[in-house]
Amino acid sequence: MYRHNRVVRLTPNHPLADGRTTHSPLISAFRSQRPDRRPIWFMRQAGRSLPEYRRAREGTAMLDACLTPALASELTLQPVRRHDVDAAIFFSDIVVPLRLAGVDVDIKPGVGPVLGRAVRTADDVAALPSVEDGAFAEALAPVRDGVALTVAELGSTPLIGFAGAPFTLAAYMVEGGPSRDHLAARTLMHADPQTWRALTAWTADVTGAFLRAQVLAGASAAQLFDSWAGSLSLADYTAHVAPASTRALAPVRDLGVPVVHFGTGTGELLVAMRDVGADVVGVDYRIPLDEANRRLGGTVPLQGNIDPALLAAPWPVLEAHVRDVVARGASAPGHVVNLGHGVPPDTDPDVLTRVVTLVHGIAG
């Protein structure tokens, strides 16, 4: 298991320790306050919607871009400069730590993560590279360097570190690539629960180390993406997934940064997703925020949930929707405005900037 039993605190020059980001709108809302400026950022705000991104990425493969600290940092900063959003999210990918651990994985444009070989049996899991020794921690150096470069430029704007949750990562590994219903993964958790447990413990340790490296290097918050958790019943989530997600978050729980937990199609799972150790729950566009807050008993701030489809609708339609999201978010203890999933690649970036200006201008 990934060792984090040494008590390590944030260093005195960490943005959340030296006060740079402590009272930022994002961190305040994550801590159930109502800052004067209503915070907003967009999942997948870096990426193909930005012409400057397409130019900077030209000729560089996705994972190579993630592992080149200066480029990853530049791509992280682009949307902050352009849109005046209240957070940066580190430019990386949920499969970066798998690659750094030695797994044969690549990202195919227009497809997503694809593995050289699916991982399906006890032997496959036993053959996964060890992440217990110092070699994996050392391999995370480009991540730490990219975060440090970024934070040095961001000033009082917080950087969010992120990782994929054990289930979503394990689903890619068992399927060998993207799939619609994650059938092979869901079969494995019932057919061979021991192998499933070993695999999700491994993905939890890899992803927990990735998250902790980002926070120690300067990220002021952390977000766990369990994008595909919505394909699970509550019973399966609780029995076969939640323990691994708790394990993945353990390496950052002691650091005092707010932790957001997001998935899509998770209306039935919101309470269980909070209970693995989240401070903030990310809500997708399928459930209104006041209803999400009701299901959570008003216990945690929410993040979300503008429907990405409406970014391409006429402005009055989008504006009315954004105002509705903000009004419903007011019922929760805190609210960070975001999309209900990532920015679609063909989004007009000027629309995103206009949404930011609108949200910052809404009183109360």
For residue 352, what are its two tokens? 């995103």
Q: How far apart are CA 358 and CA 249, in angstroms?
A: 34
Window 216-245: residues binding ligand CP3 (CB under 6 A): 225, 227
**SS3 label, residue 261:** strand
For residue 157, what are its two tokens? 């704007």
For residue 257, what are its two tokens? 């940064």
Among residues 48, 144, 253, 354, which is the contact residue for ligand CP3, using CB under 6 A? 48
Q: How far apart are CA 199 and CA 164, in angstroms?
A: 14
Question: What are the distances in angstroms from CA 298 to CA 280, 329, 335, 342?
Answer: 11, 11, 12, 25
Catalytic site residue 44? yes
Of 211 and 255, which has the nearer Cβ to ligand CP3?
A: 211
Among residues 15, 39, 47, 166, which is the contact residue for ligand CP3, using CB under 6 A? 47
Catalytic site residue 20? no
CA torsion angle 226 228 230 232 (round to 10)? -100
Backbone torsions φ then ψ of 141, nearest 5 degrees: -55, -45
Query: Which member of 172, 226, 237, 247 is catalytic?
Result: 172
Q: How far apart are CA 103 and CA 164, in angstroms?
A: 15
For residue 251, what are its two tokens? 């390496």
Residue 93 interacts with ligand CP3 (CB under 6 A): yes or no: yes
Q: Could you tell me the smallest distance in angstroms from the CB atom of residue 230 to ligand CP3?
A: 10
Residue nearest to ligand CP3 (CB): 227
Of 39 and 342, which has the nearer Cβ to ligand CP3?
A: 342
Among residues 50, 107, 213, 224, which is the contact residue for ligand CP3, using CB under 6 A? 107
Catalytic site residue 172? yes
Binding mask 110-129 for ligand CP3 (x = CB under 6 A): xxxx----------------
Given the rule CB under 6 A, which of 37-45, 179-187, 192-200, 230-238 is the region that contacts ligand CP3? 37-45
Site residues, ligand CP3 (CB under 6 A): 43-48, 62, 89, 91, 93-94, 107, 109-113, 162, 168, 225, 227, 342
